[in-house]
Structure 1
Amino acid sequence: MPTIDAAVWEKVDSFLSEHHIDRHERIGVAFSGGSDSLALLLALAQLYEPHRLHVMYVQHHLRPDSELEAETALNRENCRKLGVVLHVLDLGKGSVVQASASRKGGIEEAARHLRYEALYTECSRAGISCLATAHNADDRLETLLMRLFQGASIAALEGVRVLRTIDECNLTLIRPVLGCTHEELSNFVKQHDMVWSEDSSNSEDAYLRNTIRHTITPAILSVFGGAYEAVALMTKRFGETGHLLDSLVENCLKAVTFSADRIVFSRSWFNSLSPALRDLVLFRIVSYHDEANRIKNSFIQRLRLALEMHRGDDGWILESGIRRLQVNRDVCSYYVMRGSDWQFCLALANPGEPQTLELGNNVLFSIRLYEEHPADPTLLALDESMLQGAVLRSVQPCDEIALEGGTVKVTKLLSSYKIPKHLHSSVPVLADRSGIVAVFARLHGGRDRLAKRFKAPLARRLTNIYSSTIRNHCSEIE
């Protein structure tokens, strides 16, 4: 039976051989100074010439300066003992907190994002094409548990991959000690009479991974002795299934039209897909224009439920922050609103049917029966039978409306009501084949105006009241 020293060394040696990692090329090593990364560095130092190891330590500035100074000094000393140079990558004070606020993913997520960004940049600068990290069997177990109870996709349940290609950096990310437990790695370091640094935040349960590590993992291991091996097998199967689903999704997306400003697909086509593929298809659609931001599963579920459950031919809109899905009968358009470029256009298949439509940006449009509501001179009443091919849309620069006092440009009308230009696109207009029927400016302090040809006595009968309002609470931000 091999000693711990031999077992860890042999696992790393076998990993490099199995994955054809060239030991004559320089390799990057992500080094935190903890027991896991020190064990990885120790093993690699036995397998590589020292000048081929490019060791990188990322400084996040999330702990007291005194602790960080001591840690950096110890890391330099350990690297000196192994004959390698330590490269310190300083993120700068406050950078993680700032990134957390902008990315809305928490301190852990922001630190991880900036850490890998710094590592990738340094590898690119140094001409390194392979980066080793010290993820181990405990990390794989913890990641699976987190993702499982966060409702992650099948592909995400693969968790920590043995090997991953970062195309944009021409870099391969490898995990040589993924088959070793944290305990094995710690004992490996002890056998070499070396001291690792302890991150004080590792003992704080404020971070989710630490809570799992200190409370859940020990309970699992006490009941299931073969948990590490089972998790390795499960994540491998999840990965294989995820790759299969990805290939099926890629084939499905041939029916989707991707363009620079929006993505268009058929609602009936979407609902004909296997339920197992719908979330994945929606995620690919949503992330196409929004790769920089985290896509929450709750938003994907809202989209899916709306597409599956909504009935009727009239158009509708679902939005969350700057993301919007607009549906006109069977045609679905998904896009991300940029600045003041907010636009909408909904066909009214049944302009006489009482309904409330969500236009986005908290703007609601209501159609009510004239006979069921008391007369209000500020609201517009008209004969819906006079409408031919009615649509409800945002204002366009060339729009004109024929009022009793003459024809006027809609944008000029809105300016006369002192409605700011950046709000013009959120003012609904009702149009049909004859032109602009009505302008609904009351929601921004103006007046709702009706084209003269739709006013009594030209209108045969008044059937409906049309109005627009702003919802008095913010739309959900994912």
Structure 2
Amino acid sequence: MKNLEIVVKKKLFSLDFDREKPVALAFSGGLDSTVLLNILLQIVDNKKLRAIYVCHNLRPKEELAKEILLIKKTCQIMRVRLTLVYIREGAIAEYAKQARCGIEAAARRFRYHALARTAQRWNISTIITAHHADDQIETFLMRLLRGGNLGALAGISPSRAIDKTSGVRVVRPLLQIERRELYNYAEKKGLEWSEDSTNEETIFLRNKIRHSLIPYLDSEFPSWKCSVIGYAPQIRNTQAFLHTCAEKHMHAMQKEYRGRPVLDLNLFKKREAVIRLEILKNFLQNFIYKHHIGYHALQNLDRAISDGALKAEAGGYEFDLTGGFLQFKGRARFSSAPSTRGISFLLDSYREDQYFLKVQAPGKYECGAFKLVVAYDSSNTNIPGLAHIVIDESEKIASVKIPISFPFVFRNKKEGDIIYTEAGIKGIDAIIKKSKIPEGTRHLVPLLEDKYGIAAVLISTFVKGSTLNAVCRNPSLGENGEIVYILLLMKGDHIINV
């Protein structure tokens, strides 16, 4: 058991892991993440560790309820803080239909977006996942069978940025450890874990590979896994070198035409075919699609450029090739490509977390990602059921004593909002930026507003340990209002006081 803990610890530190900083574990309650949680507690202070469970709402409710109970119990025993994230029932199926992808792929997109948003919320920059060697093998075989570009065969990366904007990265320290080793560790430690019933359903390609193809290869070619695993880092290193070369050449070719980025095709044609395809992929991802670009679409576009065509269509989009430049024109008029390639349905769905609540009187309210308590005195004794509220001091809260008029509005900030403070008029966008709140969550920062204007900006729910609790307006502007105590907590978390 000690050997496994030492291997994981060494791997984490080789990936520039800083155990002094807060970290999150993607915790499903299954064997892999339960073992990893146990090992992490030998490396990281439990006060710096947060488990994040994402409920996709794809399995039977009874099974999910049992799993969540077990997850809460495990975190309570191990004295680890836990955040539960619930995805709206039906949202993943809707996305899969619009994006024309499988349920598994859609669930993965939602899961990683939820993990990134939750990490940002708690000022966490590293998420650890429990992907292991068996996952790596299955991913390699899946991508080999599906076909596509060579980079896909690099498999699961040990460390990568979760996206381009959040500043959150994913670290995977178990990729060289087989599942049987994790199982032996869990058995010896007496750990309890849940089993996902969908893992047995062979309608999914991964499960077909796991239950049919891999057992056959194991029986006929006993050493095949070692051979396959060896390819992944070789391909990953080759792709990293190719990407660096392509980026260097792309910067030399990139121009601006009518305020939009274009590629100089005379310089482009001088490069080798493999470099050209990588340049096209990088250019289109950075400035046009912001999505995965199919290998065949890149080939079609490169072929049109090489043939001297004046225009081209690739991946359902039109390109103008006149004037010696590659210019993006927009969606092809009669394209059958999925409309979601041009927009991010997933990100749009998450922008629906805008919120607005009208508060008529003191009481306890829920709105958006928050719980709001409004009282005439700080003890909450005048509101039934609030006298014994327990607050974990490590959690993000904001509290403010302020004169305000009923009814008032609790809402998220909007672009252009201002507040009249004792120091003068302040732009709320500037206040939030100065507070170093992550860009992806700035639109969620809560405000209090009554008939006299914005009364307060509640900062500390988004910046842990901030010395600035709230920015309030000049008291004289609300002097006709009633003095109230307002307590704001994040909701949607199962908080275990340890």
Name the TM tier (shorter chain): 0.5 to 0.7
Distance 1:93 1:10, change over 3 A: same
TM-score scaled to structure 1, two decimals?
A: 0.64
Match of 2:287 among 286, 289, 293: 289
Which amino acid is the alignment partner of residue 333 of structure 2? N
Distance 1:301 1:150, change over 3 A: farther
Match of 1:159 among 155, 169, 173: 155
Match of 2:89 among 90, 93, 113: 93
Distance 1:293 1:15, change over 3 A: closer
Distance 1:19 1:272 in 2: 37
Indicate whether 1:26 and 2:22 are aligned: yes
Match of 1:137 among 128, 133, 136: 133
Distance 1:289 1:73, change over 3 A: same
Distance 1:57 1:283 in 2: 34
Match of 1:327 among 316, 321, 327: 321
Distance 1:108 1:266, change over 3 A: same
Which amino acid is the alignment partner of residue 325 of structure 1? F
Alignment of 1:72-471 (within 5 A): 72-166=68-162, 168-253=165-250, 254-258=252-256, 262-267=260-265, 269-308=267-306, 310=307, 315-318=310-313, 320-321=315-316, 323-328=317-322, 331-337=324-330, 361-362=333-334
Which amino acid is the alignment partner of residue 120 of structure 2? S
Contact 1:37 1:133 in 2 (8 A): yes
Distance 1:278 1:205 in 2: 39
Q: Percent identity?
A: 29
Distance 1:219 1:336 in 2: 49
CA-CA distance at 1:12 after TM superposition = 1.2
Distance 2:225 2:329 in 1: 42
User: Which residue in the other structure is 2:463 paired with?
Assistant: none
Which amino acid is the alignment partner of residue 182 of structure 2? L
- Number of matched pairs: 333
Structure number with greater Rg is 1
Distance 1:295 1:44 in 2: 37
CA-CA distance at 1:263 after TM superposition = 4.6
SS at match of 1:22: coil
SS at match of 1:28: strand
User: Which residue in the other structure is 2:379 paired with?
Assistant: none
Distance 1:112 1:221 in 2: 28
Match of 2:61 among 52, 61, 65: 65
Indicate whether 1:39 and 2:55 are aligned: no
Unmatched tracts of structure 2, length 5 or more: 336-498
Distance 1:234 1:264, change over 3 A: same
> For the aligned residues, what is the CA RMSD?
2.5
SS at match of 1:306: helix
Distance 1:258 1:55 in 2: 45
Distance 1:258 1:178, change over 3 A: farther
User: Which residue in the other structure is 1:394 paired with?
Assistant: none
Which amino acid is the alignment partner of residue 281 of structure 2? F
Which amino acid is the alignment partner of residue 361 of structure 1? R
CA-CA distance at 1:305 after TM superposition = 3.0
Contact 1:256 1:263 in 2 (8 A): yes
CA-CA distance at 1:139 after TM superposition = 1.1
Distance 1:163 1:362 in 2: 40
Contact 2:304 2:312 in 1 (8 A): no
Distance 1:128 1:264, change over 3 A: closer
1:189-221 CA distance string (max 9 Å, x none): 122222211111111122221122122222333
Distance 1:102 1:260, change over 3 A: farther
Distance 1:240 1:163, change over 3 A: same
Unmatched tracts of structure 1, length 5 or more: 339-359, 364-478
Contact 2:247 2:282 in 1 (8 A): no
TM-score scaled to structure 2, two decimals?
A: 0.62
Distance 1:236 1:294, change over 3 A: closer
Distance 1:120 1:187, change over 3 A: same
Which amino acid is the alignment partner of residue 198 of structure 1? E
Distance 1:259 1:145 in 2: 43
SS at match of 1:183: helix
Which amino acid is the alignment partner of residue 319 of structure 2? L
Distance 1:236 1:293, change over 3 A: closer
Which amino acid is the alignment partner of residue 210 of structure 1? N
CA-CA distance at 1:241 after TM superposition = 0.7
Distance 2:151 2:224 in 1: 20
Which amino acid is the alignment partner of residue 122 of structure 1? T
Tell me which stretches of 4 or more aligned residues in structure 1 moved more than 6 Å.
Answer: none
1:405-440 CA distance string (max 9 Å, x none): xxxxxxxxxxxxxxxxxxxxxxxxxxxxxxxxxxxx
Distance 2:165 2:234 in 1: 27
